[in-house]
Amino acid sequence: MKQSDRIVSTERRSQVGAVGPPYDGSDSVTRLSPRLHRLGLFAPATWASDNLPRVARQIVSSGAPPPPPQPGSPLDRAMPPGIRPDAEYANRADVLTADDPSHGTMSARGVAWVYSALLGHVGGVSLVSRRRLAGMAAVAFTGLDEVMGFPSEWAFGYSPGRPGGAPSRPGSTFGMVGMNGSAAYADIDSGVAVAVMRNRFTTGDLTTVARIDHLVAETMH
């Protein structure tokens, strides 16, 4: 089975014309096209471990914890009490450096830069065509989330809605929220990319990102 970093690197190299060997998890730096160098989207494999001291530590929120899932519910079965992530889990070095597509170690500026690049606003570089961009934001699935047990909509790998619920045209917004209330997204129609990273760990608390989402929407109007 291929590692996710190798798959992503290979696919992106094919799209933007990178040269040299695929990024293979070694200490060597992949030789990339000048367009990706300007964007700064790739780094050596040792970046994560070398930069761990700079990563903000997650702390337990001072607010009331969210209620646990209903016993026996799909979410309770998917995440039993013994393995539910918390601040201590999120601070573990093996988690922060894991090759796991369900986790992310990033800065708000860094992930906003990536979404801006997808919109074509960074250095005159277009990482994807306008047609591909529309496809990334288009709803591909509507139905019951079999893990969480509630109705959901998904694009291919992205959530198609704004995390704060601010109005947007269906098919314009794509992004993702994190378990601790972090979120990042891009909106095609407005051309805006937004990222909010939190280090107060409260599972599912989107209060901060919702406030910022609405402030962005009010400013754009």
Phi, then psi, of 182 in degrees rounded to 5 = -75, 160
Q: What is the pLDDT of residues 37-46, one digit of tens each?
A: 455 554 444 5
In this predicted model, what pLDDT tens digit does every residue of 91-139 receive, in sequence order?
998 888 887 777 778 888 889 988 999 998 887 777 889 999 999 999 9
Which CA distances in Å does 86 have to 14, 19, 41, 81?
A: 38, 41, 29, 11
User: Which amino acid appears at position 179 of this protein?
Assistant: M
Residue 26 has pLDDT above 70, yes or no: no
What is the pTM assigned to this prediction?
Answer: 0.75
In the chain the beta strands, taken as DSSP E runs, fall at 59-60, 141-144, 151-154, 173-177, 183-187, 192-196, 200-201
Query: Mean pLDDT over residues 208-214, rounded?
Result: 92
Which pLDDT score is estimated for 116?
92
What is the spatial distance between Cα 101 and Cα 61, in angstroms, rounded to a whole number? 25
Q: Which pLDDT belongs to residue 40?
A: 52
Q: What is residue 185's predicted lDDT score, i.e. its pLDDT?
A: 95
Q: Minimum mean pLDDT among 50-54, 141-145, 167-171, 192-196: which range?
A: 50-54
Cβ-contact 18, 115 below 8 angstroms: no
Model confidence at 155, pLDDT cuts 50, 70, 90, reads very high
Q: What is the mean pLDDT of residues 168-191?
A: 92
Q: In percent, how much of the chain has pLDDT > 90? A: 27
What's residue 191's pLDDT? 92
Amino acid 203 reads T
